Structure 1
Amino acid sequence: MKSSRPVAVDLLIEARWVVPVEPHAVVLEDHAVAVRDSKIVDILPQSEARARYEPAEHVQLGEHALIPGLVNSHTHNPMTLLRGLADDLPLMEWLQGHIWPAEAKFMGPEFVRDGTELAIAEMLRGGTTCANENYFFPDAIGETYRKHGFRAVLGLPVINFPTGWAATDDEYFERALEVHERFRGDALVSTAFVPHAPYTVSDASFERIRLLAEQLDIKIHLHTHETVHEVNEEVAKSGRRPFQRLQELGLVNERLIAVHMTELTDAEIEACAAAGVSVVHCPESNLKLASGFCPAEKLRKAGVNVAIGTDGAASNNDLDMFGETRTAALLAKAVSGDAAAFDAAYALRAATLNGALALGLEDRIGSIEVGKQADLAAVRLSDLETQPLFHVASQLVYATGRHQVTDVWIAGQRKLRERVLTGMDEAALVVMARRWRERIAAG
Structure 2
Amino acid sequence: MSEASTLLTIVNAVVIPLADGPVLGGAATGGAGGAAAGAGGTGWFRGWLAVGADGRIEAMGEGALPPERESIGSGEVLDAKGAFLAPGFVSAHSHIFTSGMRGMTPGEPLYGWVGEQSTFIAGADEEDVYWFTLHGCLDFLGNGVTSAYNFTDSRVVGKYDAETDRREIYAIRPEGYLHRQFDAARDAGLRTMNAIRLDSEFQPAEEAFDAFGRAVRYLEASVPAELSLGASVFGAVQWSASAQAARDEVRAMDEHGIGNQAHFLETSEALDQQREKFRWYEEAGALRPGFLFGHFVHPDTYMARVAAQKGAGMVWQPTSNGRLGSGVADIPRYRELGMPIGVGLDDQSCTDVSDPFQNVRIGVYTQRAVNQDASVLMPRDMLRMHTLGSAEALGVADRVGSLEVGKFADLLLVDPSSPDTGPVWDVHAHYAFACGLRNLKRVYVGGQLVSEDGVSTNPLAARASAELHSRVREVAARSVSRSTERLAW
Calculate the TM-score normalised by the size of structure 2: 0.82
Deviation at 1:265, TM superposition (A): 2.5
SS of residue paired to 1:290: coil
How far apart are the structure 2 equivalents of 1:317 and 1:161?
A: 32
Alpha-carbon contact 1:13-1:61 (below 8 Å) kept? yes
Alpha-carbon contact 1:308-1:355 (below 8 Å) kept? yes
Closer, same or farther: CA 440–147 of 1 in aligned 2, 3 Å: closer
Counterpart residue identity of residue 93, structure 1: G
Counterpart residue identity of residue 473, structure 2: E
How far apart are the structure 2 equivalents of 1:160 and 1:100?
A: 19
**Cα deviations by residue, 1:102-159 (Å, 9 ceiling, x for unpaired):** 12222x2112211111112211111110110002243111111222322000111134
The residue aligned with 2:227 is 188
The residue aligned with 1:351 is 386
Deviation at 1:402, TM superposition (A): 1.8
The residue aligned with 2:45 is 28
How far apart are the structure 2 equivalents of 1:21 and 1:154?
A: 25
Structure 1 stretches of at least 4 aligned residues deviating more than 6 Å after TM superposition: 4-7
Alpha-carbon contact 1:134-1:194 (below 8 Å) kept? yes
* Counterpart pick for 2:211 among 167, 175, 178: 175
The residue aligned with 2:262 is 222
* Counterpart pick for 2:310 among 275, 299, 313: 275
Matched ranges for 1:264-303 at <5 A: 264-303=299-338
* Counterpart pick for 1:209 among 249, 256, 259: 249
Counterpart residue identity of residue 309, structure 2: A
Q: Percent identity between the aligned chains?
A: 22
Alpha-carbon contact 2:345-2:354 (below 8 Å) kept? yes
Deviation at 1:69, TM superposition (A): 0.9
Where does structure 1 lack aligned partners over 5 or more consecutive residues? 236-240
SS of residue paired to 2:349: coil
**Cα deviations by residue, 1:77-107 (Å, 9 ceiling, x for unpaired):** 01112222322112112223x111112222x
The residue aligned with 1:326 is 361
Matched ranges for 1:240-251 at <5 A: 241-251=276-286
How far apart are the structure 2 equivalents of 1:297 and 1:336?
A: 9
How far apart are the structure 2 equivalents of 1:109 and 1:168?
A: 23
* Counterpart pick for 1:361 among 389, 396, 399: 396
Alpha-carbon contact 1:160-1:200 (below 8 Å) kept? no
How far apart are the structure 2 equivalents of 1:440 and 1:212?
A: 32
1:423 is the counterpart of 2:430: no
Closer, same or farther: CA 175–218 of 1 in aligned 2, 3 Å: same
**Cα deviations by residue, 1:360-417 (Å, 9 ceiling, x for unpaired):** 1111110111111111111111134521211121112112112322111212222123
Counterpart residue identity of residue 90, structure 1: P
How far apart are the structure 2 equivalents of 1:419 and 1:51?
A: 35
**Cα deviations by residue, 1:15-38 (Å, 9 ceiling, x for unpaired):** 421111113560111333343311
Alpha-carbon contact 1:159-1:195 (below 8 Å) kept? no
Alpha-carbon contact 2:51-2:409 (below 8 Å) kept? no
How far apart are the structure 2 equivalents of 1:169 and 1:87?
A: 37
The residue aligned with 1:138 is 178
How far apart are the structure 1 equivalents of 2:317 and 2:454?
A: 26
How far apart are the structure 2 equivalents of 1:316 and 1:418?
A: 21
Alpha-carbon contact 2:236-2:262 (below 8 Å) kept? yes
Alpha-carbon contact 2:16-2:44 (below 8 Å) kept? yes
SS of residue paired to 2:127: helix
How far apart are the structure 2 equivalents of 1:348 and 1:393?
A: 8
Deviation at 1:214, TM superposition (A): 2.3
* Counterpart pick for 2:122 among 61, 84, 104: 104
The residue aligned with 1:73 is 92
Deviation at 1:74, TM superposition (A): 0.6
Counterpart residue identity of residue 471, structure 2: W
Aligned residues: 429
SS of residue paired to 2:468: helix
**Cα deviations by residue, 1:273-304 (Å, 9 ceiling, x for unpaired):** 22222211111211121112111122122221
Aligned Cα root-mean-square deviation (Å): 2.2
1:200 is the counterpart of 2:279: no
* Counterpart pick for 1:395 among 430, 449, 468: 430
How far apart are the structure 2 equivalents of 1:231 and 1:158?
A: 24
Counterpart residue identity of residue 73, structure 1: A
SS of residue paired to 1:12: strand
Deviation at 1:42, TM superposition (A): 0.8
Alpha-carbon contact 2:419-2:438 (below 8 Å) kept? no
Counterpart residue identity of residue 288, structure 1: R
Alpha-carbon contact 2:200-2:248 (below 8 Å) kept? no
Return 323-332 or 39-48, whichever deviates more: 39-48
Counterpart residue identity of residue 148, structure 2: A
* Counterpart pick for 2:16 among 12, 16, 19: 19
Closer, same or farther: CA 29–256 of 1 in aligned 2, 3 Å: same
Alpha-carbon contact 1:16-1:63 (below 8 Å) kept? yes
Counterpart residue identity of residue 80, structure 2: L
